[in-house]
Amino acid sequence: MPRVSIAIRAFRRRWLSEAIASVLAQTHRDLELVIYDDAGDLEPVAAGFGDPRVRYHRAEARLTASGRFAAAAAQCRGEYIGILDDDDRYDPTFVATLVQVLDSDPRCGVAFCRSVWDDAGELVVPRDPRPAGSQADYVESMLRHGWWTAFSQMLIRRSALEAAFRDQPLPPDVGPDTFINLRIGLAGWTHVLVDGLLSRRRWHAGQLTREFPVADDMAIATFRRLAIADGILASVRDQQLARSHLVRAVHALRAGDVGQARVDVAAAASLAPSAWRAERRALALAVAGGPAGILAARLWATCSPRGRRRARAPDRVGHR
């Protein structure tokens, strides 16, 4: 069996060859590459590489994001598992560097690296305040600051992944990367950050995380379904859930759905009355304004510095 399994959840032909090539070019050779084909017509791309380490699997049905993760991970046989998005790619030393971290620390459940955004050829290196090494209070930091770690940045220890699913099975409607990272941390495993730009992620309009309402619905489901026994962490989780409702309220207003925006503002107030007060007041006024509020939300997105920044690749890690 290979030490490392990398799975690509493939449904876009455009960048798939680059993603595959980046895996096969790794300096760590003891690996397999699983192409989980969610489009159903990508086998020629996989077969074209002629590498015996490549295993092709055609999806039997279209699944949600978390369903695709579970199905792709189930095909992996290695001790360490990586999930690479089909529009991203690895640096040649990505696997070797993260394997070394996992090998050296048996309590490390996730080894991850810093990444570079490729925004139509412009490379953006996000500012990241996190120090390299083992991350203290990782779950609280993720929830409080929005320091999410994408699958394309990490390798997961299989036993840590199994522990996360044992404590709470993966729900069908959540964001799998956020949910699994949090569950691994809650199960007592550590996250270790490598101080290297070993992953290149592509910023483009077709990303699932930029689609409304899919991305917002998934974020809300992630925090609503996340089981946390610790009362303090649960309170921080509720603040993050409230924030996700406010983000969806903004997007709903831009889409002209005042009713959905009103529901989300009320939900945020109920979940975390003392958090995001200024944002709630501004959105409540916009909701009350009806058509004027819709116009204000659209102008904010296109004209304000913060709104324009959200349309570009993130220049820092965490909430924007």
Angstrom distance (rounded) from CA 105 to CA 34:
26
Same domain, residue pair 164 and 32: yes
Q: Does 113 map to a domain?
A: yes
189 within a domain of the structure (yes/no): yes
What's the structural domain count of the chain? 2
Among the residue ranges 48-57, 97-106, 310-319, the one predicted with the least confidence is 310-319
In a domain, residue 78? The reply is: yes
The reply to whether 294 falls in a domain is: yes
8 A C-beta contact, residue 140 and residue 237: no
Q: Is residue 131 part of a domain?
A: yes
Report yes or no on 65 lying in a domain.
yes
CB hemisphere CA count around 26 (13 angstroms): 25
Based on the domain organization, do 178 and 261 belong to the same domain?
A: no
Q: What CATH number is attached to the domain comprising 97?
A: 3.90.550.10
Note the pLDDT tens digit of each residue in 13-72: 999 999 999 999 999 999 999 999 998 999 999 999 999 999 999 998 888 899 999 999
Question: Does residue 185 sit within a domain?
Answer: yes
- Last residue within a domain, chosen from 178, 208, 238: 208
DSSP-derived 3-state class of residue 90: strand
Banded pLDDT at 210 (limits 50, 70, 90): confident
Domain that holds residue 254: 228-310
The answer to whether position 159 is within a domain reads yes
DSSP string, 194-222: EEEEEEEEE--TT-GGGSTTHHHHHHHHH
DSSP string, 246-277: HHHHHHHHHTT-HHHHHHHHHHHHHH-TTSSH
Q: Tell whether 191 and 247 lie within a shared domain.
A: no
Same domain, 200 and 89: yes
